[in-house]
Amino acid sequence: MTTPDPRAVPPDAILVSAIASGDESAMGQLYDRYSPIVYSIALRVLGDAGMAEDLLQEIFMQLWRNPAAFDSNRGAMAPWLAAITRNRAIDWLRKRRPETPVADVALSIEPDLAYKAEIAQSVGKIRSMLDNMPVTQRSVLEMAYFEGLTHSEIAAKTGQPLGTIKTRIRSGLLALRTALTQ
Amino acid sequence: MSVHEQFAEDLALYALGALVGPEKDALEQHLEVCLPCQSELQQLQSDATLLALSTFGPVPPPRSRKRLLQAIARERRARVAAPKRSAWWVLVPYAVSTALIVVAAFLWNESRSLNRTLANLEQRHAEMEKQLRVAQDLVNTLTSPESKQITLAPAKALPQPQGKAYYLSSSGHLIFLANNLAPLPPNKVYELWLIPSTGSPIPAGLFQPDSHGTATVVNPPLPMGIEAKAFAITIEPAGGSPAPTSQPIMLGAA
Protein backbone atom coordinates (compact mmCIF):
# COMPACT_ATOMS: atom_id res chain seq x y z
CA MET A 1 0.00 0.00 0.00
CA THR A 2 1.42 3.40 -0.90
CA THR A 3 1.23 6.44 1.31
CA PRO A 4 -0.65 9.36 -0.30
CA ASP A 5 1.66 12.21 -1.31
CA PRO A 6 0.96 15.03 1.19
CA ARG A 7 1.73 17.50 -1.59
CA ALA A 8 -0.88 15.96 -3.91
CA VAL A 9 -2.63 19.27 -4.51
CA PRO A 10 -3.38 20.59 -8.00
CA PRO A 11 -0.36 22.43 -9.43
CA ASP A 12 -0.83 26.15 -10.13
CA ALA A 13 -0.82 25.63 -13.91
CA ILE A 14 -3.77 23.18 -13.61
CA LEU A 15 -5.73 25.63 -11.45
CA VAL A 16 -5.02 28.49 -13.87
CA SER A 17 -6.18 26.33 -16.74
CA ALA A 18 -9.41 25.52 -14.82
CA ILE A 19 -9.91 29.24 -14.13
CA ALA A 20 -9.62 29.91 -17.86
CA SER A 21 -12.57 27.58 -18.39
CA GLY A 22 -14.59 29.43 -15.74
CA ASP A 23 -14.08 27.14 -12.74
CA GLU A 24 -14.91 29.25 -9.66
CA SER A 25 -13.74 26.58 -7.20
CA ALA A 26 -10.27 26.61 -8.81
CA MET A 27 -10.21 30.36 -8.22
CA GLY A 28 -11.10 29.72 -4.57
CA GLN A 29 -8.22 27.24 -4.21
CA LEU A 30 -5.72 29.64 -5.76
CA TYR A 31 -7.01 32.42 -3.49
CA ASP A 32 -6.58 30.22 -0.40
CA ARG A 33 -3.04 29.41 -1.48
CA TYR A 34 -1.78 32.90 -2.30
CA SER A 35 -4.05 35.53 -0.73
CA PRO A 36 -1.81 35.85 2.39
CA ILE A 37 1.18 36.73 0.18
CA VAL A 38 -0.75 39.32 -1.83
CA TYR A 39 -2.42 40.78 1.25
CA SER A 40 0.85 40.97 3.27
CA ILE A 41 2.65 42.89 0.53
CA ALA A 42 -0.31 45.23 -0.09
CA LEU A 43 -0.56 45.94 3.65
CA ARG A 44 3.21 46.57 3.96
CA VAL A 45 3.27 49.05 1.07
CA LEU A 46 -0.08 50.78 1.58
CA GLY A 47 -0.17 50.65 5.39
CA ASP A 48 -3.97 50.48 5.39
CA ALA A 49 -5.99 47.28 5.84
CA GLY A 50 -8.97 48.56 3.80
CA MET A 51 -6.80 49.53 0.83
CA ALA A 52 -4.91 46.23 1.12
CA GLU A 53 -8.23 44.35 0.86
CA ASP A 54 -9.21 46.40 -2.20
CA LEU A 55 -5.89 45.68 -3.89
CA LEU A 56 -6.21 41.97 -3.03
CA GLN A 57 -9.59 41.98 -4.77
CA GLU A 58 -8.18 43.79 -7.82
CA ILE A 59 -5.22 41.41 -8.22
CA PHE A 60 -7.38 38.26 -8.08
CA MET A 61 -10.10 39.77 -10.30
CA GLN A 62 -7.40 40.49 -12.89
CA LEU A 63 -6.30 36.86 -12.69
CA TRP A 64 -9.93 35.72 -13.08
CA ARG A 65 -10.52 37.94 -16.11
CA ASN A 66 -7.18 37.23 -17.75
CA PRO A 67 -5.63 33.98 -16.46
CA ALA A 68 -3.40 33.82 -19.56
CA ALA A 69 -1.40 36.74 -18.10
CA PHE A 70 0.31 34.15 -15.89
CA ASP A 71 2.80 32.12 -17.90
CA SER A 72 4.29 29.27 -15.85
CA ASN A 73 7.25 29.14 -18.26
CA ARG A 74 8.31 32.62 -17.14
CA GLY A 75 8.25 31.99 -13.39
CA ALA A 76 6.38 30.54 -10.43
CA MET A 77 3.04 31.90 -9.24
CA ALA A 78 4.14 33.27 -5.83
CA PRO A 79 6.96 35.57 -7.03
CA TRP A 80 4.84 36.64 -10.00
CA LEU A 81 1.92 37.61 -7.75
CA ALA A 82 4.36 39.25 -5.33
CA ALA A 83 5.90 41.36 -8.10
CA ILE A 84 2.61 42.54 -9.63
CA THR A 85 1.14 43.26 -6.18
CA ARG A 86 4.16 45.36 -5.18
CA ASN A 87 4.14 47.24 -8.50
CA ARG A 88 0.41 47.96 -8.33
CA ALA A 89 0.63 48.97 -4.65
CA ILE A 90 3.40 51.47 -5.46
CA ASP A 91 1.21 52.81 -8.29
CA TRP A 92 -1.61 53.29 -5.78
CA LEU A 93 0.76 54.83 -3.24
CA ARG A 94 2.02 57.37 -5.75
CA LYS A 95 -1.44 57.67 -7.36
CA ARG A 96 -0.16 57.04 -10.84
CA ARG A 97 -1.28 55.00 -13.80
CA PRO A 98 -0.06 51.36 -13.97
CA GLU A 99 3.45 51.33 -15.46
CA THR A 100 4.13 47.62 -15.82
CA PRO A 101 1.67 45.48 -17.78
CA VAL A 102 0.84 42.37 -15.75
CA ALA A 103 2.00 40.00 -18.49
CA ASP A 104 5.42 41.70 -18.69
CA VAL A 105 6.55 40.55 -15.27
CA ALA A 106 9.15 37.83 -15.88
CA LEU A 107 11.11 36.29 -13.02
CA SER A 108 13.36 33.36 -12.47
CA ILE A 109 11.36 30.28 -11.49
CA GLU A 110 12.61 30.12 -7.89
CA PRO A 111 11.32 30.06 -5.28
CA ASP A 112 8.31 27.83 -5.91
CA LEU A 113 6.25 28.69 -2.88
CA ALA A 114 3.12 26.69 -3.64
CA TYR A 115 3.20 24.89 -0.34
CA LYS A 116 2.94 26.33 3.15
CA ALA A 117 5.97 24.53 4.55
CA GLU A 118 8.16 25.80 1.71
CA ILE A 119 6.79 29.31 2.16
CA ALA A 120 7.58 29.32 5.89
CA GLN A 121 11.08 27.94 5.31
CA SER A 122 11.93 30.39 2.50
CA VAL A 123 10.52 33.39 4.35
CA GLY A 124 12.57 32.41 7.42
CA LYS A 125 15.78 32.39 5.36
CA ILE A 126 14.98 35.74 3.72
CA ARG A 127 14.18 37.38 7.09
CA SER A 128 17.33 35.99 8.63
CA MET A 129 19.38 37.49 5.77
CA LEU A 130 17.64 40.87 6.22
CA ASP A 131 18.11 40.79 10.00
CA ASN A 132 21.85 40.30 9.53
CA MET A 133 22.10 43.13 6.99
CA PRO A 134 23.42 46.53 8.23
CA VAL A 135 20.48 48.80 9.10
CA THR A 136 21.67 51.53 6.70
CA GLN A 137 21.69 49.06 3.82
CA ARG A 138 18.36 47.44 4.67
CA SER A 139 16.64 50.81 5.04
CA VAL A 140 17.68 52.08 1.58
CA LEU A 141 16.51 48.79 0.03
CA GLU A 142 13.15 49.08 1.80
CA MET A 143 12.74 52.76 0.89
CA ALA A 144 13.21 51.89 -2.78
CA TYR A 145 11.10 48.74 -2.76
CA PHE A 146 8.27 49.42 -0.30
CA GLU A 147 8.02 53.22 -0.58
CA GLY A 148 8.80 53.49 -4.30
CA LEU A 149 11.39 56.23 -3.74
CA THR A 150 13.95 57.04 -6.44
CA HIS A 151 17.68 57.05 -5.69
CA SER A 152 17.71 60.87 -5.60
CA GLU A 153 14.77 60.91 -3.17
CA ILE A 154 16.52 58.38 -0.93
CA ALA A 155 19.73 60.44 -1.03
CA ALA A 156 17.77 63.58 -0.08
CA LYS A 157 15.91 61.76 2.71
CA THR A 158 18.97 60.06 4.25
CA GLY A 159 21.67 62.62 3.45
CA GLN A 160 23.83 59.86 1.96
CA PRO A 161 25.73 60.41 -1.33
CA LEU A 162 24.09 59.01 -4.47
CA GLY A 163 27.03 56.67 -5.07
CA THR A 164 26.66 55.17 -1.62
CA ILE A 165 22.93 54.60 -2.15
CA LYS A 166 23.63 52.83 -5.44
CA THR A 167 26.31 50.61 -3.97
CA ARG A 168 24.19 49.68 -0.95
CA ILE A 169 21.16 48.79 -3.06
CA ARG A 170 23.13 46.58 -5.41
CA SER A 171 25.07 44.75 -2.74
CA GLY A 172 21.85 44.32 -0.72
CA LEU A 173 20.09 42.66 -3.65
CA LEU A 174 23.10 40.44 -4.32
CA ALA A 175 23.10 39.38 -0.66
CA LEU A 176 19.40 38.48 -0.92
CA ARG A 177 20.22 36.35 -3.96
CA THR A 178 22.18 34.03 -1.72
CA ALA A 179 19.49 33.83 0.98
CA LEU A 180 17.67 30.79 -0.42
CA THR A 181 20.83 28.86 -1.24
CA GLN A 182 22.17 28.88 2.31
CA MET B 1 28.91 36.38 -20.27
CA SER B 2 28.97 39.07 -17.59
CA VAL B 3 27.21 42.37 -17.14
CA HIS B 4 28.90 45.63 -18.03
CA GLU B 5 30.36 46.91 -14.78
CA GLN B 6 29.59 50.53 -15.56
CA PHE B 7 25.86 49.66 -15.56
CA ALA B 8 25.88 47.16 -12.68
CA GLU B 9 24.64 49.55 -9.98
CA ASP B 10 22.14 51.29 -12.23
CA LEU B 11 20.69 47.87 -13.13
CA ALA B 12 19.96 47.21 -9.44
CA LEU B 13 18.24 50.60 -9.08
CA TYR B 14 16.31 50.01 -12.29
CA ALA B 15 15.11 46.61 -11.02
CA LEU B 16 13.51 48.42 -8.07
CA GLY B 17 12.08 51.20 -10.26
CA ALA B 18 14.35 53.67 -8.44
CA LEU B 19 16.41 54.92 -11.39
CA VAL B 20 15.26 58.13 -13.10
CA GLY B 21 16.48 60.81 -15.47
CA PRO B 22 19.36 60.59 -17.96
CA GLU B 23 20.86 57.55 -16.18
CA LYS B 24 17.61 55.63 -16.76
CA ASP B 25 17.56 56.69 -20.43
CA ALA B 26 21.19 55.62 -20.90
CA LEU B 27 20.56 52.24 -19.26
CA GLU B 28 17.42 51.56 -21.30
CA GLN B 29 19.38 52.41 -24.46
CA HIS B 30 22.08 49.94 -23.41
CA LEU B 31 19.57 47.22 -22.43
CA GLU B 32 18.15 47.23 -25.95
CA VAL B 33 21.39 45.78 -27.27
CA CYS B 34 22.88 43.86 -24.31
CA LEU B 35 21.63 40.35 -23.52
CA PRO B 36 23.83 39.76 -20.42
CA CYS B 37 22.51 42.96 -18.84
CA GLN B 38 18.90 41.98 -19.73
CA SER B 39 19.45 38.64 -18.05
CA GLU B 40 21.01 40.25 -14.95
CA LEU B 41 18.06 42.67 -14.75
CA GLN B 42 15.63 39.75 -14.66
CA GLN B 43 17.69 38.10 -11.91
CA LEU B 44 17.80 41.36 -9.89
CA GLN B 45 14.01 41.70 -10.22
CA SER B 46 13.69 38.19 -8.80
CA ASP B 47 16.07 39.12 -5.96
CA ALA B 48 13.90 42.15 -5.20
CA THR B 49 10.82 39.94 -5.03
CA LEU B 50 12.37 38.17 -2.04
CA LEU B 51 11.96 41.49 -0.20
CA ALA B 52 8.23 41.32 -0.95
CA LEU B 53 8.04 37.78 0.37
CA SER B 54 9.71 38.88 3.62
CA THR B 55 6.43 40.61 4.53
CA PHE B 56 4.56 37.28 4.59
CA GLY B 57 2.44 36.86 7.72
CA PRO B 58 -0.82 38.84 7.88
CA VAL B 59 -3.86 37.06 6.46
CA PRO B 60 -6.85 38.82 4.89
CA PRO B 61 -10.17 38.73 6.76
CA PRO B 62 -12.64 35.96 5.68
CA ARG B 63 -14.96 38.59 4.15
CA SER B 64 -12.36 39.21 1.41
CA ARG B 65 -12.76 35.66 0.07
CA LYS B 66 -16.55 35.96 0.08
CA ARG B 67 -16.35 39.34 -1.65
CA LEU B 68 -14.10 37.96 -4.40
CA LEU B 69 -16.25 34.90 -5.07
CA GLN B 70 -19.41 37.05 -5.15
CA ALA B 71 -17.79 39.41 -7.67
CA ILE B 72 -16.78 36.45 -9.84
CA ALA B 73 -20.30 34.98 -9.70
CA ARG B 74 -21.79 38.37 -10.69
CA GLU B 75 -19.52 38.52 -13.74
CA ARG B 76 -20.50 34.98 -14.75
CA ARG B 77 -24.24 35.76 -14.46
CA ALA B 78 -23.80 38.87 -16.58
CA ARG B 79 -22.03 36.79 -19.26
CA VAL B 80 -24.68 34.05 -19.48
CA ALA B 81 -27.87 36.17 -19.29
CA ALA B 82 -30.32 34.30 -21.60
CA PRO B 83 -32.76 36.04 -24.04
CA LYS B 84 -36.56 35.41 -23.77
CA ARG B 85 -38.45 33.64 -26.60
CA SER B 86 -40.92 35.82 -28.57
CA ALA B 87 -42.92 35.84 -31.80
CA TRP B 88 -40.59 36.22 -34.83
CA TRP B 89 -41.85 39.70 -35.87
CA VAL B 90 -41.11 41.01 -32.43
CA LEU B 91 -37.51 40.03 -33.10
CA VAL B 92 -37.22 42.05 -36.36
CA PRO B 93 -36.02 45.29 -34.70
CA TYR B 94 -33.59 43.25 -32.62
CA ALA B 95 -32.31 41.46 -35.73
CA VAL B 96 -31.76 44.79 -37.48
CA SER B 97 -30.04 46.16 -34.38
CA THR B 98 -27.91 43.03 -34.12
CA ALA B 99 -26.92 43.29 -37.78
CA LEU B 100 -25.92 46.91 -37.24
CA ILE B 101 -23.95 45.96 -34.15
CA VAL B 102 -22.20 43.18 -36.08
CA VAL B 103 -21.29 45.61 -38.88
CA ALA B 104 -20.12 48.19 -36.35
CA ALA B 105 -18.11 45.56 -34.48
CA PHE B 106 -16.53 44.41 -37.76
CA LEU B 107 -15.56 47.97 -38.68
CA TRP B 108 -14.32 48.62 -35.15
CA ASN B 109 -12.27 45.44 -35.26
CA GLU B 110 -10.81 46.39 -38.64
CA SER B 111 -9.95 49.80 -37.29
CA ARG B 112 -8.26 48.25 -34.22
CA SER B 113 -6.31 45.87 -36.43
CA LEU B 114 -5.08 48.76 -38.61
CA ASN B 115 -4.22 50.77 -35.51
CA ARG B 116 -2.23 47.85 -34.13
CA THR B 117 -0.33 47.46 -37.40
CA LEU B 118 0.38 51.20 -37.45
CA ALA B 119 1.53 51.11 -33.82
CA ASN B 120 3.87 48.18 -34.58
CA LEU B 121 5.35 50.00 -37.56
CA GLU B 122 5.79 53.18 -35.52
CA GLN B 123 7.48 51.21 -32.76
CA ARG B 124 9.89 49.56 -35.22
CA HIS B 125 10.62 52.92 -36.78
CA ALA B 126 11.33 54.45 -33.36
CA GLU B 127 13.64 51.54 -32.46
CA MET B 128 15.58 51.87 -35.70
CA GLU B 129 15.88 55.62 -35.19
CA LYS B 130 17.18 55.03 -31.66
CA GLN B 131 19.80 52.56 -32.89
CA LEU B 132 20.82 54.99 -35.62
CA ARG B 133 21.20 57.77 -33.03
CA VAL B 134 23.47 55.54 -30.93
CA ALA B 135 25.63 54.78 -33.97
CA GLN B 136 25.73 58.47 -34.95
CA ASP B 137 26.74 59.45 -31.42
CA LEU B 138 29.62 56.96 -31.49
CA VAL B 139 30.86 58.13 -34.89
CA ASN B 140 30.45 61.77 -33.89
CA THR B 141 32.44 61.27 -30.68
CA LEU B 142 35.28 59.67 -32.65
CA THR B 143 35.32 62.09 -35.60
CA SER B 144 34.03 65.46 -34.40
CA PRO B 145 36.59 68.28 -34.56
CA GLU B 146 35.37 69.30 -31.09
CA SER B 147 36.12 65.82 -29.72
CA LYS B 148 39.20 65.79 -27.50
CA GLN B 149 41.52 62.81 -27.80
CA ILE B 150 43.42 62.15 -24.61
CA THR B 151 46.13 59.56 -24.21
CA LEU B 152 46.54 58.26 -20.69
CA ALA B 153 49.93 56.93 -19.58
CA PRO B 154 50.86 55.23 -16.33
CA ALA B 155 51.42 57.79 -13.55
CA LYS B 156 54.74 56.13 -12.68
CA ALA B 157 55.80 56.02 -16.33
CA LEU B 158 55.52 52.27 -16.70
CA PRO B 159 55.68 51.67 -20.43
CA GLN B 160 53.09 48.99 -21.17
CA PRO B 161 49.52 49.98 -20.20
CA GLN B 162 47.82 52.61 -22.32
CA GLY B 163 44.38 54.18 -22.40
CA LYS B 164 42.67 56.50 -24.85
CA ALA B 165 39.61 58.56 -24.03
CA TYR B 166 37.43 60.21 -26.70
CA TYR B 167 35.24 62.73 -25.02
CA LEU B 168 32.59 65.11 -26.39
CA SER B 169 31.70 67.51 -23.60
CA SER B 170 28.69 69.07 -25.35
CA SER B 171 26.82 65.75 -25.38
CA GLY B 172 28.55 64.04 -22.44
CA HIS B 173 29.57 61.10 -24.65
CA LEU B 174 32.73 59.23 -23.78
CA ILE B 175 34.53 56.28 -25.34
CA PHE B 176 37.49 54.84 -23.49
CA LEU B 177 39.79 52.13 -24.85
CA ALA B 178 42.65 50.59 -22.88
CA ASN B 179 45.17 47.84 -23.40
CA ASN B 180 48.02 46.05 -21.63
CA LEU B 181 46.25 46.41 -18.30
CA ALA B 182 47.29 44.13 -15.47
CA PRO B 183 44.62 41.75 -14.18
CA LEU B 184 43.09 42.60 -10.80
CA PRO B 185 42.06 40.37 -7.90
CA PRO B 186 38.28 39.65 -7.82
CA ASN B 187 37.64 42.18 -5.03
CA LYS B 188 39.13 45.07 -7.04
CA VAL B 189 38.03 46.98 -10.13
CA TYR B 190 39.47 49.70 -12.34
CA GLU B 191 37.50 52.97 -12.14
CA LEU B 192 37.71 55.73 -14.74
CA TRP B 193 37.36 59.34 -13.56
CA LEU B 194 36.54 62.52 -15.41
CA ILE B 195 38.41 65.34 -13.67
CA PRO B 196 36.51 68.55 -14.39
CA SER B 197 38.04 72.04 -14.63
CA THR B 198 36.50 72.75 -11.26
CA GLY B 199 35.11 70.39 -8.66
CA SER B 200 35.61 66.79 -7.62
CA PRO B 201 36.37 63.86 -9.95
CA ILE B 202 33.26 62.35 -11.55
CA PRO B 203 32.96 58.52 -11.80
CA ALA B 204 33.04 57.57 -15.50
CA GLY B 205 32.68 53.81 -15.40
CA LEU B 206 34.07 50.61 -13.90
CA PHE B 207 35.89 47.97 -15.92
CA GLN B 208 37.91 44.79 -15.74
CA PRO B 209 40.40 43.97 -18.51
CA ASP B 210 39.87 40.80 -20.46
CA SER B 211 42.47 38.03 -20.70
CA HIS B 212 44.45 40.14 -23.23
CA GLY B 213 44.50 43.15 -20.91
CA THR B 214 42.10 45.21 -23.02
CA ALA B 215 39.01 47.02 -21.76
CA THR B 216 36.42 49.49 -23.06
CA VAL B 217 33.95 51.89 -21.51
CA VAL B 218 31.27 53.24 -23.85
CA ASN B 219 29.02 56.13 -22.94
CA PRO B 220 28.94 55.88 -19.15
CA PRO B 221 26.25 58.04 -17.54
CA LEU B 222 27.83 61.51 -17.47
CA PRO B 223 26.26 64.95 -17.19
CA MET B 224 26.40 67.05 -20.36
CA GLY B 225 28.56 70.16 -20.78
CA ILE B 226 31.31 69.26 -18.27
CA GLU B 227 34.71 70.50 -19.48
CA ALA B 228 37.32 67.86 -18.70
CA LYS B 229 40.69 68.90 -17.33
CA ALA B 230 41.95 65.33 -17.32
CA PHE B 231 40.98 61.67 -17.12
CA ALA B 232 42.38 59.26 -14.57
CA ILE B 233 42.15 55.63 -13.55
CA THR B 234 42.29 54.29 -10.01
CA ILE B 235 41.96 50.82 -8.53
CA GLU B 236 38.88 50.63 -6.31
CA PRO B 237 37.08 47.97 -4.29
CA ALA B 238 34.62 45.83 -6.32
CA GLY B 239 31.47 47.83 -7.01
CA GLY B 240 33.47 51.05 -7.38
CA SER B 241 33.67 54.14 -5.21
CA PRO B 242 31.82 57.48 -5.38
CA ALA B 243 35.20 59.26 -4.95
CA PRO B 244 38.74 58.00 -5.61
CA THR B 245 40.18 56.09 -2.64
CA SER B 246 43.67 55.57 -4.09
CA GLN B 247 46.26 57.43 -6.17
CA PRO B 248 45.72 57.31 -9.95
CA ILE B 249 47.63 54.60 -11.75
CA MET B 250 47.02 56.34 -15.09
CA LEU B 251 46.42 59.99 -15.82
CA GLY B 252 45.93 62.03 -18.98
CA ALA B 253 45.41 65.78 -19.35
CA ALA B 254 42.66 66.83 -21.77
Instruction: Please answer whether residues B243 and B186 qualify as being in contact, where contact means their C-beta atoms are separated by less than 8 angstroms.
Output: no
Asked if residue B252 has pLDDT above 80, the reply is yes
The set of residues, in sequence order, having a beta carbon less than 8 Å from that of B146 and lying 6+ positions away, is B168, B169, B170
Pick the residue with more confidence: B193 or B112? B193
Which residues in chain A touch residue B20, judged by CB atoms under 8 angstroms apart? 150-152
- Does B2 contact A at CB distance below 8 Å? no
Among candidate residues B173, B165, B170, the one with its CA nearest the CA of residue B136: B173
Q: How many CB atoms lie within 10 A of CB A24?
A: 14
**Closest to A80 (Cα-Cα) out of A32, A41, A124:** A41
Selected residue of B4, B16, B66 to mutate for chain A interface (largest A Cβ count, 10 A):
B16
pLDDT tens digits for range B27-42: 999 998 888 888 889 8
Q: Whole-model pTM?
A: 0.55
Nearest to B8 among A152, A164, A170 (CB): A170
Residue B114 banded pLDDT, cuts 50, 70, 90: confident
Q: Is the pLDDT of residue A117 over 70?
A: no
Does A24 contact B243 at a Cβ distance shorter than 8 Å? no
Please state the rounded mean pLDDT for residues A95-105.
55
Is A84 near chain B, with CB under 8 Å?
Answer: no
CB of A156 less than 8 A from some CB of B:
no
Query: Cβ of B184 under 8 Å from any chain A Cβ?
Result: no
Name every chain A residue with its beta carbon within 8 A of the beta carbon of B71: 57, 61
Q: How far is B43 from chain A (nearest CA, A)?
A: 6
Q: Which segment of A147-151, B26-30, B115-119 scores lowest on mean pLDDT?
A: B115-119
- In this predicted complex, what is the ipTM? 0.80
- Angle subtended by helix axes A12-20 and A49-65, to nearest 10: 70
